[in-house]
Amino acid sequence: MSWHVWLAYFAAAWLIALSPGSGAVLSMSHGLSYGVRQTTATIVGLQLGLAFILVVAGAGVGALLVTSATAFTVVKVLGAAYLLWLGWRQWRTPLGLPGDDGGMPAAAPLSVRRRVALGLFTNATNPKGIVFMVAVLPQFIHPRQPLVPQLAILLVTTLAVDFVVMHGYAALASRLRGWLKSARARRTQNRVFGGVLMAMGASLLMVDRVARST
């Protein structure tokens, strides 16, 4: 892979990562609930899901999902159902009992394993990501050069950039924690993020396959 091709993909990776999506919403939600350090587990899960999408798209399976109506519909419905469930769960998160400071503490935190799993499935079941990668990756892969090294470079670049950006989203949200100590503020937080996740889940049902011509 030439240097200028990598630089072009590096710039594209930043634009992709900075575009608001379900991963950014989850990072901000957990940044508010747990702080940046504990949100790292969620972000690691997001990267595992993103890696899965890149490998699937790069291996050609993504093209199958895009061109097969049945396979694509299955992935789309599963992804939409997962985000709807995640959003409803966030909306209904209990506020707990009043704390000594007069505020309302958050519900019992999710375990590291649960946070990693949430991040993984949030990205891995997102058909928008598969469609996007199937459309984007071929633009940066030279057909006459070995595929695996090129995919490895694109994978490492994408994960590194997304890891930094998701931490940025979590840090931005974490700075608001001091303003969200009251029960009313926490309820608003849960319903805003829950509503956004459910809206994203519903929007996935509107995603169509990419028309591919030969």
Rounded distance between C-alpha atoms, residue 27 and residue 30, angstroms? 5
- Which has more confidence, 171 or 105? 171
DSSP secondary-structure letter at 206?
T
- Which has more confidence, 93 or 62? 93
Q: How confident is the model at residue 135 (pLDDT cuts 50, 70, 90)?
A: low
How much of the chain is in helix, strand and coil states, percent to nearest 5? 75, 0, 25
Rounded distance between C-alpha atoms, residue 86 and residue 101, angstroms? 30
Closest CA to 22 of 160, 151, 161, 162: 162
Q: How confident is the model at residue 164 (pLDDT cuts 50, 70, 90)?
A: very high
What pLDDT is attached to residue 98?
37
Asked if residue 211 has pLDDT above 50, the reply is: no
Percentage of residues in the chain with pLDDT exceeding 70? Answer: 65
Asked if residue 186 has pLDDT above 70, the reply is: no
Give the length of the chain: 214
- Which has more confidence, 146 or 139? 146
Q: What is the chain's alpha carbon radius of gyration, rounded to the nearest angstrom?
A: 19
pLDDT tens-digit profile of 78-87? Answer: 767 766 777 7
Question: Of 20-29, 38-47, 166-175, 177-186, where does mean pLDDT reach its minimum?
Answer: 177-186
pLDDT tens-digit profile of 36-65? Answer: 899 999 999 999 999 998 888 777 655 655
> What 3-state DSSP class applies to 143?
coil
Q: How confident is the model at residue 104 (pLDDT cuts 50, 70, 90)?
A: very low
Q: How confident is the model at residue 100 (pLDDT cuts 50, 70, 90)?
A: very low
Asked if residue 161 has pLDDT above 90, the reply is: yes
Closest CA to 94 of 139, 16, 33: 33
Rounded distance between C-alpha atoms, residue 161 and residue 17, angstroms? 7
- Which has more confidence, 172 or 184? 172
Mean pLDDT of the chain: 75
Q: Tell me which range, 23-27, 97-101, 131-135, 141-145, is most confidently predicted by mean pLDDT.
A: 23-27
What pLDDT is attached to residue 45?
95
Give pTM, 2 decimals: 0.68
* Residue 169 amino acid letter: Y
What pLDDT is attached to residue 212?
45
